[in-house]
Chain A
């Protein structure tokens, strides 16, 4: 049996080595290896370049396609072929910690002054049974973005974005009144990830508890869930949202806003630099995603965490890298200087963001943002058949709000008990 296991491990190791080797750059024997998912590669590269310029032990970065990260890490751990340090979508943290893929860094990080300044959502998500397994690396966060040009044309004050759900509705109506091809609001109706990122914070801001960490917890609980779904339903039936939203699986998540025909939509901080580059003439503003009442706001903290896989051959240097990436130097010169959000909230207002207050707003959203600590996030939310996206579609497009919530609750509980 051991021979078989050995053979299997050799085969797995060979498969991983072949797959990674094909894409990996030439690596010196004493270099560290780091895997990063494709969507976080740009930010990670800036940090790694900065580290390499000032340290003897270099890091070689390997970019892994987003949807292959879980498979690669899982097979890598089983075969004993893992990178020294890894950065991945934060939402997998609970599953990876429970599976024993990551190294416990609680004791080594104890006393690190910078750790306490990291957006709390990261530390919460990287903690399992009171032990810490990673920290924030390259963040992104959701915000509400609005077209100031359309606000002006609709007679709205471009410096007063909506601060409640009712105001979103009211402003969207006024903007749509500008013409049949101008829409007040947009969301990607068939994209589970886009909606947990931009729609769920409105529910959380209103007081909702979203996802269950265990079968005992009630999902989609508290005020906000029904109100937000009803708001979307009303805007849909009133024609304030383009028809194409129903089938948008995320391909047009931000493309429509760039046309200048959308008044308001939830988006990510990344959109600021995209808009400045792609539509430099557009005047737009950003604000927090609001809740039912004035003063309520939230955000979904996304982006990547950094951790040390079990079996890392240079775990000590990997830990140094993790500590280093939380320093002022890395956060400001590696991230902020390149228009990327720092994961430390105390650096939201920094010299590089002075000329762009919209980025400061986004960086501040990190501090008030949430991220659900759950196992099976894919099953509950991210998959194309998740109860989350089915609930949104049934509620918004079919008008079965109560029924949709009840069904989603039931399915989420079943998944949580698995």
Chain B
């Protein structure tokens, strides 16, 4: 920072630095401090050092919830990305039908996740749910499925609902990326005799690679922080098998009133998500260089 220009630059940055300091760094510092205390929602707090962290490492429900969250992320991310990309390929055109389809697929994105989860919870209901009625009418099942009685079946019910809600977001980003591919490149490939899928594989996919990775990163982080859909649709059941990490933090902080321990769990999850995101960004860079 030498000369007048440096100070002026810093001056321009000040609002952003103040904002980040007040709304990111200060709360983060508070969270770290909270994680080192026995703070209770009902009052009372004592500095207990790393005791919460030691406890977290033996908290089986937390590790199970983390494992379940990773499983959910691993299942849903490829579905969201694959389906989103296919829909983007279908609707990337500028025709009226393509634009209409884009709007229809994107519509659920603007609905709150809580609302959509509640909607799907009742759609899956074994007695009045339309989803079971559809499956029965199509003779796929003979009896209504009780979706949330089994952790795996419940997980797929949640995945179906979230895919419906979120797939339009990825699609819109992919559409933007696909539309930014120069038409000349596609025309050249066409002249060279490349078929549609060849052009998708050899031209469109490589040129939209960075967008795919960025969208995957955003989607994976979102899935790792899943809460609303499980809170509403499975309530963590059966037998606590569908608790996600954030749900377990919520339980500890606001149901068991253990704010300090809840803060500890969130620091641990934040570190895990941070490392996973850093790895993914590093891979993105390697891919871009290649």
Contact = CB atoms under 8 A, between A and B. Distances in A.
B149 A99 contact: no
A247 B41 contact: no
Interface in B96-134: 121, 125-127
B289 interface: no
| A67, A74, A247, A259 interface centre (most CB from chain B within 10 Å) | A247
B42 A74 contact: yes
Interface in B52-88: 61
Given A70-B257, A249-B237, A378-B256, A78 B43 contact: yes
Nearest to A382: B255
Interface stretch (A228-236, A282-290, A383-391): A383-391
A95 B146 contact: no
Given A74-B43, A243-B146, A244-B127, A190 B256 contact: no
Given A74-B42, A74-B43, A247-B149, A390 B126 contact: no
Contacts of B146: 243-244, 246-247
B211 interface: no
Interface string A62-102: 00000100110010011000000000000000011011110
Interface in B133-183: 146-149, 154
Contacts of A393: 237-239
B238 A71 contact: no
B42 A101 contact: yes
A74 to B, nearest CB: 5
| B43, B61, B236, B237 interface centre (most CB from chain A within 10 Å) | B237
A251 interface: yes
Contact of B255 (A99, A244, A378, A389): A378
Interface string B215-251: 0000000000000000000011111100100000001
B254 interface: yes
A87 B118 CA distance: 28
Given A99-B42, A251-B121, A393-B239, A385 B254 contact: no
A221 interface: no
A385 B256 CA distance: 11
B256 A99 contact: no
Interface in A246-295: 246-247, 249, 251-252, 255-256, 259
Contacts of B127: 244, 252, 255-256, 259
A96 B43 CA distance: 10
Given A246-B149, A247-B238, A390-B239, A385 B126 contact: no
A376 interface: yes
A60 B127 CA distance: 41
A227 interface: no
Nearest to A78: B43
A99 B40 CA distance: 10
Contact of B41 (A71, A98, A382, A383): A71
A96 B42 contact: yes
Interface in B18-71: 40-44, 61
Nearest to A259: B127
B149 A243 contact: yes
A156 to B, nearest CB: 25
Contacts of B61: 385
Nearest to B124: A247
Instruction: List 7 A-B pairs, minimum CB-CB distance, nearest first.
Output: A99-B42, A384-B236, A247-B148, A247-B149, A385-B240, A249-B235, A244-B126
B63 to A, nearest CB: 14
Given A101-B43, A251-B121, 17 more contacts: A70-B41, A70-B257, A74-B42, A74-B257, A95-B42, A99-B43, A243-B126, A243-B146, A243-B149, A247-B147, A249-B148, A252-B127, A256-B127, A383-B255, A384-B235, A384-B236, A393-B239
Contacts of A376: 256
B41 A190 contact: no
A269 B148 CA distance: 28
Contact of A190 (B40, B125, B238, B243): B238
Contacts of B44: 99
A383 B42 CA distance: 17
Interface in A124-172: none
5 contacts: A99-B43, A190-B148, A384-B251, A393-B237, A397-B238
A346 interface: no
A385 B257 contact: no
A376 B61 CA distance: 18
A333 interface: no
A379 B257 CA distance: 9
